Structure 1
Amino acid sequence: MQCRRHIPGFAFSLVFVLSYFTNKFVLSVLKFTYPTLFQGWQTFIGAVLLLLSGKLGWVEMSFITRSSAVSWLPASLLFVGNIYAGSRALSRLDIPFFFTLQNSSHVVTYFITTALHREKHKTHQLKTISMGLMLLSAVNLPLWDPQVDRSAYLWAVCHLLCAGAYKAFEFHKSSNLSDCEQYCINCLFSVLVLALAAHPTGDLTGALEFPSLYSGVFHCGCGASALLGFLLLLVTVKLKRGLSSEHVGIWIFISKVTAMSLSPLVFTVNINTSSFVCVLMGLVGEALLVFSDRDSQLG
């Protein structure tokens, strides 16, 4: 019985790691660095599978009204920026560095929610320390990265800003949309925006000259990335419904640590002692954040 309780968490971790590793493989190893097409493909398949699952009754999805969809569009715009910039950053950054920078999105969320709810917000010392550690690790990481790529770090900053603002909007906006309905709107909006941007960005013409365009490995990687992205949504929804926010945070933390620990076995990771300290500092900051959220709930 005790093991069965953890099945959703283990399933989430497995899909989480496989999803990031597959994306990293396509972006870095195969070097398919055309995010409007790659992310457009993923969100298109995600929308199709989600709508099909809703029709078959596998997921709970009700009719989305026009007013609900329109009110959610600011979040969808942030979602597009999140996945586009994240794809750019992940293609050039090692997974441990990517997650260290991504963790700073918590700092962005914290500052936005504090500004919006200043009179209601209580600052916990442990949370302040965790935010400081995550921000400090992200700021110092490019200074100690042995193969620093300024463009990659700029895309990572865009990614964490969009991700943090998205979480803040999700927290601030009282929406009657379920997680699946929100994701459906995000995917449909993303497909439209990314399709329109494919030609102006040069991704469309560049992809036609991609050396592995007709490779079976490339096709399998793209197919697996889209399917794993959809499965990650399903297991995330399952995890949130069955566990408290504290335990969800713990499983997300475990999944990130697992991905970061296994990544050197799968990909080439260039890391030195100083950059490793930055990565470790970021993990400590995220761990403290999980504990601070637990303490605030208990209080």
Structure 2
Amino acid sequence: MSGRGRLVGLAFCTCYLAAHLTNKYVLSVLKFTCPTLFQGWQTLVGGLLLHVSWKLGWVEINSSSRSDVLAWLPASVLFVGIIYAGSRALSRLAIPVFLTLHNAAEVIVCGHRMCFRKEKTPPAKICSALLLLAAAGSLPFNDAQFDPDGYFWAVIHLLGVGAYKILQKSLKPSALSDIDQQYLNYIFSVALLAAAAHPTGDLLRALDFPFLYVYRFHGSCCASGLLGFLVTLSAVKLKSLVAPGQCAAWLLLAQVATAGSSVLLFEGVLTRAAVGCLLLGGLGEALLVFAERRGTP
């Protein structure tokens, strides 16, 4: 791995950790549970920064045809569902629990490859999917702070992530680059979440939010928008510099650092059984990294 790849990998890990901790702070500590507004703000900031980066020549966004944009529209709908459900889940679940459930989306991807595309799946990936499924499936029974709503939205989130990955792969090769796809996701998300803010009641709830005029809330929201954009940008850059196995390794490192930091910074109760489930999920992710680094499909 080149020195540039390591620097981008470290930047990705730092932004990933900071973004999740900031989001958790806003959602759980400040208790700003208005996902259409919070996620709408994040995607608005991300879209504006991506547009500015394009105009400055830092990234390249292609003028895609209408057919390419329409073909990507279902993925953008899934993206909105992913970030909405993820926000609802993260507000109620500990970060390690949320990440373990998020990673279980790989089970859906693996199952689709085996059952529908009839692809030959390496044993390491099958074992990884089974471990991730076991970890996610046993967590609700061992979580001392079990929250039905939190797990419900986490399941919706992981189903969306799995479907998004499947759809993204099925559209390859595509005229849309990763940056193009994210740009369209941002535009569609802002439009849909803004339209949903009033019908869902989030707009009225936000007016009664006790920290609405507190600088900690404003600073955290600004940081969340900027960090979300930096996570996207660094992830795309990392993907272009290193092999898929190395990307998976950096993501695992980022998740381990994020989960470990969250335990120290946020209140929560993790039983031994729950920690065992989290470690099982971590082992599943490590096996996935091993499979990717061996160059398996």
| TM-score class, shorter | over 0.9
Q: Which residue of 2 aligns with 1:22?
A: 22
Identity %: 48
Q: Partners in 2 of 1:206 and 1:38 — Cα distance?
A: 12
Matched, 1:43 2:43: yes
Q: Per-residue deviation at 1:2?
A: 6.3
Q: Which amino acid aligns with 2:55?
A: K
Conserved 8 A contact 2:245-2:292? yes
Matches within 5 A, 1:1-299: 3-118=3-118, 121-174=119-172, 175-297=174-296
TM-score normalised according to structure 1 size: 0.96
Secondary structure class of the residue paired with 1:122: coil
Q: Partners in 2 of 1:178 and 1:5 — Cα distance?
A: 20
Q: Tell me how large the CA RMSD over aligned residues is.
A: 1.4
Q: Partners in 2 of 1:293 and 1:8 — Cα distance?
A: 19
TM-score normalised according to structure 2 size: 0.97
Measured against aligned partners, the alpha-carbon deviations of 1:107-156 in whole angstroms (never above 9, x if no partner) come to 111222333421xx112211111111100010100100001000000000
Q: Per-residue deviation at 1:5?
A: 4.2
Conserved 8 A contact 1:263-1:269? no
Unaligned regions of 5+ residues in structure 2, if any? none
Q: Per-residue deviation at 1:217?
A: 0.5
Q: Per-residue deviation at 1:252?
A: 0.2
Q: Partners in 2 of 1:149 and 1:78 — Cα distance?
A: 24
Measured against aligned partners, the alpha-carbon deviations of 1:23-46 in whole angstroms (never above 9, x if no partner) come to 111011100000000000111111
Conserved 8 A contact 2:110-2:125? no
Q: Which amino acid aligns with 2:197?
A: A
Q: Provide closer, same or farther for how the CA distance between residues 225 and 213 of structure 1 changes in structure 2, counting only shifts above 3 A.
A: same
Unaligned regions of 5+ residues in structure 1, if any? none
Q: Provide closer, same or farther for how the CA distance between residues 254 and 274 of structure 1 changes in structure 2, counting only shifts above 3 A.
A: same
Q: Per-residue deviation at 1:296?
A: 4.5
Instruction: State how many pairs are aligned.
Output: 296
